[in-house]
Amino acid sequence: MGLLPKNSDGCPYLILAPMEGVGDSWFRVAMATIGGFDEGVRDFLRVPSNAHVPSLAVRYLASEIAPIPLAAQIMGSDLDLMAEMAKAMEARGAPRIDLNCGCPSNTVTGRGAGSSLLKDPDFLHDVASALVKAVKIPVTAKLRSGFDDTSLFKENMLAAEASGIAYVTLHPRTKAEGYGPPANWGLIQEAKKLLKIPVVGNGDILNVDDALRMLDETGCDALMIGRGSVINPFIFHEIKARFAGSDYRPQWEQMVRFFDVYVRQMEEGVPERTKVNKVKQLMGFLFKKNEKLLSMRQSILTADQKEVGQFLEYALPRLAEGLDLA
Ligand SMILES: Cc1cc2nc3c(=O)[nH]c(=O)nc-3n(C[C@H](O)[C@H](O)[C@H](O)COP(=O)(O)O)c2cc1C
């Protein structure tokens, strides 16, 4: 359990999930200004069979959300290149390396990486084991529950454990299920019974009650949250507060700073229109949090300010009202 230390009041270790696209570096850095999570995971770096590892590796920046640690996630199936990439991540200061065994994208699975590893537990073992042997830092793996179905679930879990990894994170949906049906938390419970290494539970935690229920129903050792943090960037603080026996009231200043940091990371030269649209994309998720916000969604997302500063001046007070900010 050393890698997943509990917080005060018994609150489990909380991890911000990797989310390519939506939860990119801008989002992670903005999230770090709000804080509340114990570790982040960079979205996957794909290591194709013709990869030039040094030029790929520079895309991982260990200090991106410092002082919060950021794990490096890699995806691929060429054992030598994956080992080389793991070493490069270690040299760049990664606190741990996570093997992606879940990405459902066809361009990825076509090459035998990501969720394709779930079709062949022996090969999954070999890839994970190549990483474990290559570095001194902990290696972990993030798995879906299967490729087409869960028939190899146990084999995959045991293969991952036998490779020598430190823990698994389980998002209990198959590749075929995509994001359709609810995550099958029963499989997290099953993994807990099956494995000696810790299991991080992931999938469909959208609020504090979901977090408590997952812990209770599965006995998992730590929690990873993805979409729930885009819908509510304060979710980690809210979970911690519940363990401390209090309620968390988000502050207006935090929200302003969150968007300020997000916008400031956009390169100079990016058209104002693009900046406005990117902020609107992020706000589109925030509106899913509650009814009051949903009723404002249309007017905010169709507002026609052409300059991002003006748009934020218009949108943030409305957002604050809907989120009941202090
Ligand atoms: C837009 C998006 C991008 C994602 N990118 C990654 C990724 O790069 N690596 C990964 O392991 N999982 C990725 N995932 C899966 C999430 O990390 C997580 O397992 C999944 O969303 C379920 O958790 P949640 O219900 O808390 O969002 C992605 C999910 C989304 C929605």
Cβ contact 200:166 at 8 Å = no
24 lines ligand 1 (CB under 6 A): no
44: left (phi over 0), alpha (psi -120 to 50) or beta: beta
Listed residue (5, 27, 80, 17) closest to 266, CA to CA: 27
84 lines ligand 1 (CB under 6 A): no
Listed residue (119, 109, 120, 114) closest to 142, CA to CA: 114
Report the alpha-carbon distance of residue 278 to residue 312 in Å, rounded: 12
The pair of three-digit structure tokens given for residue 247, joined into one six-digit string: 């309620």
Q: Enumerate the CATH 1.20.225 domain ranges in the chain, comma separated.
A: 252-323
- Averaged over successive runs of 10 residues, the pLDDT of the chain (326 residues) comes to 88 97 89 97 94 96 98 96 98 98 76 90 97 98 97 98 98 95 97 98 97 98 97 96 94 93 88 93 86 88 94 92 81
Give the per-residue pLDDT at 109.
58
Give the per-residue pLDDT at 324.
78
The pair of three-digit structure tokens given for residue 40, joined into one six-digit string: 């982040």
Give the per-residue pLDDT at 21.
83
Query: Could you say which of 3.20.20.70, 3.40.50.720, 3.40.250.10, 3.30.565.10 is the CATH number of the domain covering 13-244?
Result: 3.20.20.70
Q: Enumerate the CATH 3.20.20.70 domain ranges in the chain, comma separated.
A: 13-244
pTM over 0.85: yes
The pair of three-digit structure tokens given for residue 32, joined into one six-digit string: 């770090």
The yes/no answer on whether domain 252-323 falls in CATH 3.10.450 is no
Amino acid at 283: M
What is the 305 CA–ligand 1 centroid distance (Å)? Answer: 32
Distance of CA 55 to the CA centre of its chain: 24
Amino acid at 100: N
Q: Is 92 annotated as a binding residue?
A: no
Ligand 1 closest atom vs CA 205: 26
Q: Is 142 annotated as a binding residue?
A: yes
